Amino acid sequence: MAKSDAATPRERYRAQVRAEIKQHAWEQIATAGASALSLNAIARRMGVSGPALYRYFAGRDELITELIGDAYRSLADAVHAAAVTGADPAALAHVLRDWALADPHRYFLIYGTPVPGYHAPDEITGISQEIMADLLTAWTAYEPDVPASPFAAHLADHRDWAGGHPAPPGALRRALAFWTRLHGVLSLELAGHFTGMGFDPALLFRAELDDLVGRED
């Protein structure tokens, strides 16, 4: 979507084709997951023949890498859009949940089983820090004075991941728990581990969230 107004017509055409490839890739991922992503199938659906796609992506890995980046970007944008309106942690939690439920495969592309050889480029680390920054800001505003704890002190001493954010130790601890606990519930729910167990996953999510924000669970 970005930089569709490139300098030369060549670059514009190239960007358009790349976008079309990625769109077909997303449809395929949403249908059968990332492991079933096939360059040949995309080419077939686009009406071109296989190797044509290699003019736009070096290979399957590069395409997936770019899709992972787009997924991160999408999540960061969703979180940030809510954060700039002054959303509290509970609101951000529901943004996260809605984003995950909208396309589970996209969520697993980010937080699922890591691809064997894949290593996240620096760009991903940056986006990840953007998300964390919004969480830290929300937690700092929501609960300025969290009682100190040994682990919070450890986090205060190892706050590289906060990227210079001035969040107090308690907010570091809360933001981290927010991430890991909600991911725990979401990933198990999306993977279907709760199906047949009887209870309502939405209520479990809500209960974990309520526990985080200090209400009754």
Residues that bind DNA (CB under 7 A): 8-10, 13-14, 17, 37-41, 47-52, 54-56, 58-61
* Greatest pairwise CA separation for the chain in angstroms: 62
Query: Any contact of residue 5 with a second copy (CB under 8 A)?
Result: no
Helix, strand, or coil (residue 125): helix
Compare residues 58 and 81 and give the one whose CB is closer to DNA. 58
Name which position in 112, 142, 143, 213 contacts a second copy (CB under 8 A): 112
Q: What angle do CA 94, 96, 99 make, to 5 degrees?
A: 105
Name which position in 50, 60, 154, 166 contacts a second copy (CB under 8 A): 154
The two tokens of residue 158 are 């190892």
Compare residues 63 and 75 and give the one whose CB is closer to DNA. 63
Write out the E strands in the chain. none
Q: CA–CA separation, 173 vs 148, rounded Å?
A: 9
Q: CA–CA separation, 183 vs 209, rounded Å?
A: 11
Query: Any contact of residue 4 with a second copy (CB under 8 A)?
Result: no
Query: Any contact of residue 217 with a second copy (CB under 8 A)?
Result: yes
Site for a second copy in 41-100 (CB under 8 A): none
Helix, strand, or coil (residue 5): coil
Compare residues 8 and 180 and give the one whose CB is closer to a second copy. 180
In contact, 5 and 16? CB cutoff 8 Å: no
| Partner whose footprint covers residue 164, from a second copy, DNA, none (CB < 5 to 8 Å by kind) | none
Compare residues 12 and 73 and give the one whose CB is closer to DNA. 12
Placement of tokens 């084709």 in the chain: 17
Among candidates 155, 190, 158, which has minimal Cα distance to 176? 155
Number of residues that bind a second copy (CB under 8 A): 54
Q: Which residues bind a second copy (CB under 8 A)?
A: 32-36, 108, 111-117, 120, 125, 128, 149-152, 154-155, 158-161, 173, 176-177, 179-185, 187-188, 191-193, 196-200, 203-204, 206-208, 211, 216-217
